[in-house]
Amino acid sequence: MPEQPPDPADPLAEREAAHGRPPRMQPRLRPRWAPTLGLTASVAALGIGLLAGWSLHLRMAQLIALLAGAECSVAASAPPAGQALSAAAAPGHDPCFRPPPGSTVTEPRDLRSRHGVLRLDLTIHNYREADGSVRYCYLLDDGTESPTLRLHPGDLLVLRLKDDLLDLPPIHPTSPQAMPMAQGGAMSMGQPAQLAQSAQSAQPVAVSLHLTPGHAPRDPCGGELMTPVSTNLHFHGLTVPARCHEDDVLMTSILPGEPPFEYRFHIPLNEPPGLYWYHPHIHGYDTPAVLGGASGALIVEGIERAVPMLAGLPERVLVIRDLDLLNPNAPPSKSEPVVPKLYIDRDGDAANNGTGFGTPAKDLSINFVPVPYPNYPPAIMRIRPGERELWRVVNASTVTYLNLALLYGRRFVPQRLGVVAIDGVPLHFGGSPAPPVEWVDHIGLPPGARAEFVISGPARGTPALLVTRTVDTGQGGENDPNRALASLIASADAPEPAARLAREVRPLPRPRLPWLGDVQPVRVRHLYFSEKLLNPKDPNSATVFYITVDGQTPRPFDPKNGPDIIATQGTVEDWIIENRSNELHAFHIHQLHFELVDWMGLPVHEPFLRDTVNVPYYNGHALSYPSVRLRMDFRDPNTIGTFVYHCHLMEHADGGMMGMIRVDPPPGRAAARAGDATPAGDATPAGDATPAGGAPPARETTRPVR
């Protein structure tokens, strides 16, 4: 029996386990909207019963037993911060250092703006490891990996990105379109899956497609040559214009051998203070790069101005990534229950077995310390006893849902986590009626999402684990089992986190616009996620992924098709997004945040914003498809131009589950309003991000607001 059994009366647990069944509201226990903090991950952990609890207990006991050994074995394994420098500079050496399992978690290096400007040179590298996997990394010139970019609202970011990628197709095919350039790997949308056979035979080939002597340099803003070695950057969550050199992913493609490409934009003055992140966004080729480690955090400073109780707290940035299994053929740990036979989905990942155990689809790492299957040796985090800290966690996984919990003591009691921000936005921001802190005991995070929360360190000698509990991703989803991430070791001499929030708090200015939840939408649009076999008669054929505006014909994303949706800047719309597939999807849109209004048809009116939201899977039995209703905010002057929305499971987005929206200026108003929210001067010339020659917009299917 578990010493700390799941609480069957917990409305959060019940709601999250209920697919196809509306959530039961329990205002007696929490504010009506409160359970939604956890609903992003449709969590079955608490619903899988005694077996799971029993085995989770065994697993944790085993982990606790490991801790003493892990603590002393890691000190020698973490390299000095600059070690990657020489490796990066030496040809044939791996520039993308990874600590061994069980290492101490070190924080990414902070790069802070000075006098309103942050300048940096970043290079993206990749390297094939001995096991055939390919690591990717963002490096500063001194070898620092994936720095955290810290800027204040109004600051200017000047980031020069150099592409040093080699053509190293993944041996484990994680992207349907992933194939070596030598075999025609330049982007061809809607292509059938290219599988392991072609990938296995490829050789590393440095490419420099554009370097033809005597020819003018290629225009990196031209929307051409989206290839496995192309790169660009998406600044996930920022309300920065979708223009080349700013936050455009449709037209921007940088190639190896080209001069560094300059990103240059201001953090908008009204950008919510919180956690954002950067990663490449070359359609069709995102998965290998992000799975390989190409991601980093970006912080808009000043969260203590929105949540004054945070003033002076130490803060930790934790980037949780997924990676191909380090031990793919290992049997599950003996402490686990017997699980059904391993089933591999068409992406080559372990499919959800519904037990909460067994082989995961991917391993996880925490600040690059891997926590591999099957024994999940936890990474080590040193902390002062009882110290309150702000943890800023990004789920930078390609397909893995997280359901974070902090368990203390021999009874593994879930600790209270004080959530202050979701997806970079403080809960109590922009006129939101939310209280500034919501106390929960677990936090669901779909790929791409972030949570910022206050924790208190354990007492000295108290076993303490950061875990992710299993997430029920649906019959067609990945296996995301229960597992540890890190062990917290409390001692008075533990080093303090590198960063600390300001002690002096200047309150943020009042919002200029009404709270989004109080604005009447101008229309309602209906969209849906769906999947189809490439060859319906062949169950082993590749899956094609779609996100479709209701009434249009499902087709995998192709930027040449032009926008699927045209909206007007300054307006607010409601989008109802259904999931007609049997696995979870995570809806994400660039350039704006939204409010979750309805969940499975029932009003929840979350009084906070998101930019990524889980959409529950269809169980095959319910009378209607699961859905979310989102209030989309096109009011910001920067939310204009052509950009994308997509599932943030990158295998799905790469496989076609992406759509395009164009936001036009209001009728009678001149274009080029973007940038109004940024300080004048030092701006990059605007470019129209709309693909040239795009087809006319598809028919809009709108329905009146009820």
Residues that bind Cu ion (CB under 5 A): 585, 647, 649, 652
Output 604 or 649, the one with its CB closest to Cu ion. Answer: 649
Q: What is the CA radius of gyration of the chain?
A: 24
Beta-bridge partner residues of 466: 406, 486
- CA triple 570-572-574, angle to 5 deg: 160
Nearest to 280 by CA among 265, 291, 295, 268: 295
Query: What's the closest the beta carbon of residue 399 comes to Cu ion, in angstroms?
Result: 8
Buried b (16+ CB within 10 A) or exposed e, 657-695: bbbbbbbbbeeeeeeebbbebbbeeebbebbebbbeeee
Instruction: Tell me the three state secondary structure of residue 633.
Output: strand
Query: What's the closest the beta carbon of residue 260 comes to Cu ion, in angstroms?
Result: 33
d(CA 339, CA 333): 11
Query: What's the closest the beta carbon of residue 581 comes to Cu ion, in angstroms?
Result: 8
d(CA 70, CA 78): 12
- Sign of the C-alpha dihedral, residues 638, 270, 319, 468? negative
Task: Yes or no: say if 637 and 677 are a contact pair by the CB < 8 Å rule.
Answer: yes
Instruction: Tell me the three state secondary structure of residue 584.
Output: coil
Query: What's the closest the beta carbon of residue 43 comes to Cu ion, in angstroms?
Result: 17
Output 585 or 631, the one with its CB closest to Cu ion. Answer: 585
Output 402 or 649, the one with its CB closest to Cu ion. Answer: 649
d(CA 659, CA 647): 9
3 state SS for 17-85: HCCCCCCCCCCCCCCCCHHHHCCCCCCCHHHCHHHHHHHHHHHHHHHHHHHHHHHHHHCCCCCCHHHHH
Task: Yes or no: say if 519 and 572 are a contact pair by the CB < 8 Å rule.
Answer: yes
Within 8 A by CB and 6+ apart from 169, the residues are 178, 179, 180, 185, 198, 199, 202, 228, 288
Beta-bridge partner residues of 500: 314
DSSP 231: B
d(CA 212, CA 151): 38
Output 592 or 615, the one with its CB closest to Cu ion. Answer: 615
Burial of 370 by CB count in 10 Å (0-12 exposed, 13-18 middle, 19+ buried)? buried
Output 30 or 652, the one with its CB closest to Cu ion. Answer: 652
Nearest to 362 by CA among 384, 347, 382, 341: 347
Output 4 or 582, the one with its CB closest to Cu ion. Answer: 582
Output 288 or 691, the one with its CB closest to Cu ion. Answer: 288
Query: What's the closest the beta carbon of residue 359 comes to Cu ion, in angstroms?
Result: 20
Query: What's the closest the beta carbon of residue 136 comes to Cu ion, in angstroms?
Result: 21
Span between the terminal Cα atoms of the chain, in Å: 49
Output 351 or 572, the one with its CB closest to Cu ion. Answer: 351
Output 359 or 614, the one with its CB closest to Cu ion. Answer: 614
Output 307 or 650, the one with its CB closest to Cu ion. Answer: 650
Instruction: Tell me the three state secondary structure of residue 288.
Output: helix
Output 172 or 585, the one with its CB closest to Cu ion. Answer: 585
Output 555 or 635, the one with its CB closest to Cu ion. Answer: 555
Query: What's the closest the beta carbon of residue 248 comes to Cu ion, in angstroms?
Result: 23
Burial of 298 by CB count in 10 Å (0-12 exposed, 13-18 middle, 19+ buried)? buried
Give φ, ψ of 308 to 5 degrees.
Answer: -55, -25
Query: What's the closest the beta carbon of residue 291 comes to Cu ion, in angstroms?
Result: 15
Output 362 or 585, the one with its CB closest to Cu ion. Answer: 585
Output 405 or 649, the one with its CB closest to Cu ion. Answer: 649
Instruction: Tell me the three state secondary structure of residue 655.
Output: coil
Output 279 or 585, the one with its CB closest to Cu ion. Answer: 585
d(CA 195, CA 193): 6
Output 479 or 639, the one with its CB closest to Cu ion. Answer: 479
d(CA 190, CA 172): 20
Query: What's the closest the beta carbon of residue 172 comes to Cu ion, in angstroms?
Result: 19
Query: What's the closest the beta carbon of residue 585 comes to Cu ion, in angstroms?
Result: 3
Query: What's the closest the beta carbon of residue 232 comes to Cu ion, in angstroms?
Result: 21
Query: What's the closest the beta carbon of residue 652 comes to Cu ion, in angstroms?
Result: 3
Q: Would you state the structure tokens that stand for residue 635, as one six-digit string? A: 């009011």
Nearest to 158 by CA among 124, 219, 221, 114: 114
Query: What's the closest the beta carbon of residue 349 comes to Cu ion, in angstroms?
Result: 13
Query: What's the closest the beta carbon of residue 445 comes to Cu ion, in angstroms?
Result: 15
Query: What's the closest the beta carbon of residue 354 comes to Cu ion, in angstroms?
Result: 19
Query: What's the closest the beta carbon of residue 615 comes to Cu ion, in angstroms?
Result: 8
Nearest to 64 by CA among 490, 455, 493, 377: 377
Give φ, ψ of 351 to 5 degrees.
Answer: -80, 155
Q: Would you state the structure tokens that stand for residue 368, as one six-digit string? A: 């690059």
